[in-house]
Amino acid sequence: MSLVARHLEANGIPTVTFGTAKDIVEHCGVSRFVFTDFPLGNACGRSFDSVQQHEVIELGLRLLETACAPRTTVQTPAVWSDDDSWKQLIFTEEQPFLSGEALENWLAAKQRYRDKKSKGEL
């Protein structure tokens, strides 16, 4: 995602990236970044909370209007829950990230990638 944002910026189209993985987006480096400290999946605000979703989007719009240099990050004030156990458990042996069908789909997608690569399609 960040790589595409960078390409659009380099070619004159301003972008703002909404994300929940602060380190990954900032490691790549984008022009403007709205960080929400939520579990992976709801970068534009809590599900079915249109008020909060507007607050998140509005921060991005203000960033478009006011940021004067790249790598500008703002963090939304949204808090997922009082209980931060999701932060402790994500990507741990105790709580596998993918399981069952999702894990099989991921492994199958990896294999399709290898197949396409070996055929020179990628």
Instruction: Tell me if 9 contacts other proteins by CB under 8 A.
Output: yes
Task: Report the nearest approach of other proteins to the CB of residue 16 (Å).
Answer: 6
Inter-residue contact 49 to 32 (CB < 8 Å): no
Query: Among residue numbers 16 through 35, which ones bind other proteins (CB under 8 A)?
Result: 16-19, 21-24, 27-31, 35
Inter-residue contact 26 to 72 (CB < 8 Å): no
Task: Report the nearest approach of other proteins to the CB of residue 53 (Å).
Answer: 5
Residues 6+ apart with CB under 8 A from 96: 103
Q: Among 59, 73, 89, 118, which residue sits at the site for other proteins (rule: CB under 8 A)?
A: 89
